[in-house]
Chains A and B, each alone.
Chain A
Amino acid sequence: MTATAPTTLVGQVQCPSCAHSFRTENVRFIAEHVSLQGDSIAGPLEGVRFRSSRFDLDGNAIDMAGRACTRTACPRCHIEMPRALLECSTNFISIIGAPGSGKSCLLGAASWSLRRCAGEYGCSWVDVEPRLNALLHGYESALFAGKGGTFHVPRKTEVSGGDWYHQIRVGARIESFPKPMFFRIGWQGDHGDASSVMVLYDNAGEHFQPVAENAEPAYTRHLGRAQALLFVFDPTMAQSAESSHRQELVLIEAIARIRRLSGVDQNAKLEIPLIVALTKADLWGAKEGIDLSNRPIAQGRRVDLDRKAIDAVGAKAQAFVAGAFPELVQSVSAFVDKVYWVPCSALKMASDGAAKNSVVRGESQWSEVPLLLAFDEASRRQGRK
């Protein structure tokens, strides 16, 4: 028999849900046998979490009923985490933005785009555990893979409950954690194939509003361990008569929480890179002379991103934002050291000549760039440490 157990394991693992840091050997396995259903923390519908002392030749744990168990969980919160986290380096990326700014749309568009064209950027992009990314698959299907090319707006992210959150029992109370999404991004490294696991968090925009943090801090705890921030800013939102939400307040609140959660000095700027994704560029980009028709591809170390092209477009986008939303540029420059401005478009608005109506099509432009840039920056910083 050929043993398929990994030859290398990372020494220390950080739980993507509760941020608990633990040694690899302390990971819990999830019992597979139906008689072992019902966990005291994860809930009655989940298999028992246990620390195994028996393994098969493939490195799988054997549960109390003799079944081989391949799924792993955090020893503290008992929430399932992919086994790849025990074997690969991990990049945590938090997506923030005001309610209705298009976080879920951008994430769905970026993921769908990377599934189709990751090779052009010299990397691969796959789900680590498709089951754990079911929510994102729903976004992708709604936007791009509907029957007969139909397009649906993804459901609004709920503030609590539903498919967006893990719920666990902590003592006598129930705590909710946003469900992270896991992708393996692979590239050709110096010593052969290399890969990393990208962990993405898509919160409801309501969670970043001031005062919401008081009662349920667990929703945005991931900000404290984020290696890159992706701030989704919708320039068209301010012009809408319906919404008068001040989006820069969301960023200021998020930065304040990062300071609290990760212990950053109040006088110091944040070291983690901030990527400001300026969405709906199909509506305003052309007026500012921004052309997103070509993908920014050039030879790079990990992913083939054309930094010069991104910087050139970013400069125009920043000039536009500085003119229209000076409060955002001021806030960003006051709090963050490294900022990238990336215009992008998750969906394309096209006018239907016959009916003289605007039609929304599932067609993205540069939607994958903010995500790849965030990964590239996060992994560069990780490499330097």
Chain B
Amino acid sequence: MPYEVVNTSVAQGLTPNHSGYCDVVRTRGLPEEITPLLAPLNYYDDQLGRGRPAFGVRTIRFGGRAWGVVSRVIPNGNDYTGRPNRLAHHVLTPPSETDSISPARILSQFKFRDSFDGTPRYLDREPEIPSTESNCDEVWTALGGQGWCLHISQLALAGSRLVVLIPPSVDGRSVVTSLVAHLPIDQRWALSVAESSSAEQCWAQGVAVRILTTDLDDESGRRTWPGEVLIDLRVSRTAPAPSRSRERDVAQGSATEPSQVVELDFGAFDANRSEGRSDEGSGPIEVAISFESAPVVTRHGAGERTHDCRPLEIQPTSWKQIVAWTILGLITGGFLGFVIRSAI
């Protein structure tokens, strides 16, 4: 059974003698000890959020297992002390149900609260999660095509950290929904996405993709960290999907092989950006500071996909080596045994 939690600043919270930021709505049965783990997800960044709702898909570890959390945080007027307030609404999926409940279903159709009135209360019913998810893919037509969605999610699953800049005219909720909707069912909670979140917050929460809504001339949110890939989808409405040659071009701006970790050099970083703008014209600007793991691009029909090389994945060539070394070991062991027995 999924749970929901609403957190905002009130004079009297759900817990007796608690005021200020506290839970005001909680599904009965949800352990109270989980509340502090949700506290970092309640934060609303005014500068990056600009009054728009900030959606996020993350996992938290509670009781030794991963819980899925879909969140929406919005500014919520002033609180009882007259100071700016925010309201965070989380839908939590317990570990036993993460396989059956997709974050895209919650994101696309769940009715998140816009405000809180009345007295704090426990909910006896579970949150109403629709059985189907709505298709949000059309949002990518304004961002250069569906290829970007696949490219971003695959890069993130491969271990890269990404910043995706989108224009204010595009609905951030649809972008987040679409990103998680196209993943295989067993990996839908593996991709953590947060909207309007700073680099520090994303690092602390282990978020792989952060989506920032900014104007073209706005430089806020450009603070990136080594290894982060910046994908700027604000420039073009008809940008082509990413290609192998493009990715290589970007990486070669500061290194010869895309698989190498590129030493951070802000001079080269700026040069890459300016080159991207002047050469590509209206094309999207993608700047790779470094790739934590090299995406290997293989062709599948007309489109292109990236496949990640997972560190623990054993390749067929590795199996051959293991078998060969085992046989060699057996022969050597047998020979040594024979020699020792002969000597005795």
Contact = CB atoms under 8 A, between A and B. Distances in A.
B200 A216 contact: no
Contacts of A352: none
A49 to B, nearest CB: 16
Nearest to A245: B19
Given A35-B263, A44-B225, A244-B12, A155 B84 contact: yes
Interface stretch (A157-165, A190-198, A259-267, A274-282): A157-165
A206 B21 contact: yes
Interface stretch (B33-41, B99-107, B239-247): B33-41
Interface string B234-276: 0000000000000000000000000000011110000000000
A286 interface: no
A354 interface: no
A162 B43 contact: yes
A106 interface: no
Given A44-B203, A174-B204, A34 B265 contact: yes
Given A37-B225, A44-B225, A45-B199, A245 B42 contact: no
Contacts of A215: 33, 35-37
Contact of B200 (A37, A45, A98, A206): A45
A329 interface: no
Nearest to A104: B83
Interface string A228-270: 0000000000000011111001000000000000000000000
Contact of A34 (B42, B223, B264): B264
B67 to A, nearest CB: 15
Contacts of B46: 155
A100 B19 contact: yes
A24 interface: no
B79 interface: yes
Given A45-B223, A99-B20, A209-B17, A242 B263 contact: no
Contacts of B265: 34-35
A238 B218 CA distance: 45
Given A45-B223, A160-B42, A167 B204 contact: yes
Contacts of B83: 100, 153-156
B81 interface: yes
B20 A246 contact: no
A204 B19 CA distance: 11
Interface string A166-199: 0100000010100000000000000000000000
Contacts of A37: 225-226, 264
Contacts of A161: 39-40, 42-43, 201, 204
A67 to B, nearest CB: 14
A162 B84 contact: no
Interface in A253-310: none
B39 A249 contact: no
Contacts of B35: 215
Contacts of B19: 98-100, 205-206, 209, 243, 245
A38 interface: yes
Contacts of B264: 34-35, 37
Interface in A114-145: none
Contacts of A205: 19-20
B43 A158 contact: yes
A249 B37 contact: no
B17 A245 contact: yes
Contacts of B21: 99, 156, 158-159, 204, 206
A206 B22 contact: yes
A47 to B, nearest CB: 11
A206 B225 contact: no
Contacts of A34: 264-266
Interface of A: 34-35, 37-38, 43-45, 98-100, 153-156, 158-162, 167, 174, 176, 204-206, 209-212, 214-216, 242-246, 249
5 cross-chain pairs, A with B, having the tightest CB-CB distances, nearest first? A99-B20, A215-B36, A161-B43, A160-B39, A44-B225
7 contacts: A34-B265, A99-B21, A99-B81, A100-B80, A100-B83, A210-B17, A216-B36
